[in-house]
Chain A
Amino acid sequence: MTKTLTMDKPDDRRRLDHMAQAVIGKPLDRPDGPLKVSGTAPYAAEYEIENCAHGVLLRAATMGTVKSLNRAKIEALPGVLGVFSSDEFLRNPAQGMAGEAPVQGVGEVAYVGEVIGLVVAETFEQARHASYAFAPEIEPAGHIVDPEAVEPEPQDSEAVDQGDLAGAMRDASHSVDVVYRTEGHAAAAMEPHASIAVWDGPKLTLYGAYQMLKFNRKELADSLGLDEADVRIVSRYVGGGFGSKLGISQEGIAAAVAARGLGRPVSVVMTRQQVFESIMRRTETKQHMRLAADAEGRLTGLGHESLISNLPDEEFAEPVPQSTHFLYGGENRKISLNVARIHRPAAGSVRAPGEAVGMPVLENAMDELAHAVGIDPVELRKKNLPECHPETGIPFGTRKYAECMDEGAKRFGWADRNRVPGGLREGEWLIGHGMAGASRVNMTETAKARVTLSANGTATVETDMTDIGTGSYTVLGQVAAEMLGLDPAKVEVKLGDTDLPPGSGSGGSIGASSCGSAVFLACEDVRTQICEALGCEEADLTLKDGEAVTGNRRMSLADALGADELTGEGEFNPGETSEDYAQAGYGAYFCEVAVNSVTGETRVRRMLGVYAAGRILNEKTARSQCLGGMTWGIGTALTEELVHDERNGKIVNRDLAEYHVPVNLDVPQLNVVFLEEREDAACPIQSKGIGELGFCGAAGAITNAIYNATGVRVRDYPVTLDKLLAGLPD
Chain B
Amino acid sequence: MKTTLKVNGEERELEADSRVSLLDALRNHFRLTGSKKGCDHGQCGACTVMVNGRRINSCLTLACMHDGDEITTIEGLGTPGSLSPMQDAFVRHDGYQCGYCTPGQICSATAMLEEAKAGWPSVVTEDLESRPDLTDEEISERMSGNLCRCAAYPNIVDAIREVAE
Determine if chain A interacts with chain B: yes
Residues of A within 8 A of B (CB): 29-30, 32-43, 46, 48, 123-126, 129, 187-192, 237-242, 269, 271-272, 468-471, 620-621, 623-625, 627-628, 630-632, 655-657, 661-670
For A671, the closest partner residue in chain B by CB is B154
B17 touches A38 (CB 8 A): no
With the chains together, A188 CA to B156 CA distance in Å?
A: 19
Task: Point out the residue from B33, B81, B147 that lies within 8 Å of A46, measured CB to CB.
Answer: B33
Nearest Cβ in chain B — how far from A640, in angstroms? Answer: 11
Report B-chain residues with C-beta under 8 Å of the C-beta of A39: 32-35, 73-75, 102-103
With the chains together, A665 CA to B144 CA distance in Å?
A: 6
A34 touches B151 (CB 8 A): no
With the chains together, A46 CA to B88 CA distance in Å?
A: 23
| Majority-rule SS of A interface residues | loop
Q: A38-B78, A240-B98 are in contact. Are A628 and B140 (CB under 8 A)?
A: no
Instruction: Determine whether B97 belongs to the interface, using a CB cutoff of 8 Å to chain A.
Output: yes
A240 touches B100 (CB 8 A): yes
Nearest Cβ in chain A — how far from B151, in angstroms? Answer: 3
Nearest Cβ in chain B — how far from A190, in angstroms? Answer: 4
Instruction: Determine whether B20 belongs to the interface, using a CB cutoff of 8 Å to chain A.
Output: yes
With the chains together, A670 CA to B156 CA distance in Å?
A: 12
For A630, the closest partner residue in chain B by CB is B151
For B79, the closest partner residue in chain A by CB is A38
Q: A38-B74, A38-B75, A40-B80 are in contact. Are A624 and B152 (CB under 8 A)?
A: yes
With the chains together, A619 CA to B124 CA distance in Å?
A: 33
Report B-chain residues with C-beta under 8 Å of the C-beta of A188: 149
Task: Point out the residue from A46, A123, A242 that lies within 8 Å of B149, measured CB to CB.
Answer: A242
Report A-chain residues with C-beta under 8 Å of the C-beta of B78: 37-38
Interface size on B, residues (CB 8 A): 65
Tally inter-chain residue pairs, CB-CB below 8 A: 193
With the chains together, A271 CA to B59 CA distance in Å?
A: 13
Using an 8 Å CB-CB cutoff, how does the interface string of B144-165 with A read, 1 for contact, 0 for none? 1111111111111100000000
Nearest Cβ in chain B — how far from A291, in angstroms? Answer: 32
Report B-chain residues with C-beta under 8 Å of the C-beta of A41: 99
Instruction: Determine whether B143 belongs to the interface, using a CB cutoff of 8 Å to chain A.
Output: yes
Report A-chain residues with C-beta under 8 Å of the C-beta of B33: 39, 42-43, 46
Instruction: Determine whether B141 belongs to the interface, using a CB cutoff of 8 Å to chain A.
Output: yes
Report A-chain residues with C-beta under 8 Å of the C-beta of B102: 36-37, 39
Q: A664-B143, A664-B157, A669-B157 are in contact. Are A655 and B149 (CB under 8 A)?
A: no
Question: Can you show 20 pairs from A to B with CB atoms below 8 A apart?
Answer: A30-B94, A37-B74, A37-B91, A37-B103, A39-B103, A190-B46, A238-B98, A272-B43, A469-B97, A469-B150, A627-B153, A628-B97, A631-B151, A656-B38, A657-B43, A664-B148, A665-B140, A666-B144, A669-B154, A670-B154
B149 touches A48 (CB 8 A): no
For the complex of A and B, list the 10 residue pairs with the smallest distance between their C-beta atoms, beginning with the closest.
A39-B34, A469-B98, A239-B100, A36-B99, A469-B97, A631-B151, A39-B74, A33-B91, A34-B80, A46-B33
Instruction: Determine whether B15 belongs to the interface, using a CB cutoff of 8 Å to chain A.
Output: no
Task: Point out the residue from B87, B98, B137 that lies within 8 Å of A189, measured CB to CB.
Answer: B98
Report A-chain residues with C-beta under 8 Å of the C-beta of B150: 190, 240, 469, 624, 628
Task: Point out the residue from A35, A123, A190 that lies within 8 Å of B148, measured CB to CB.
Answer: A190
Nearest Cβ in chain A — how far from B26, in angstroms? Answer: 10
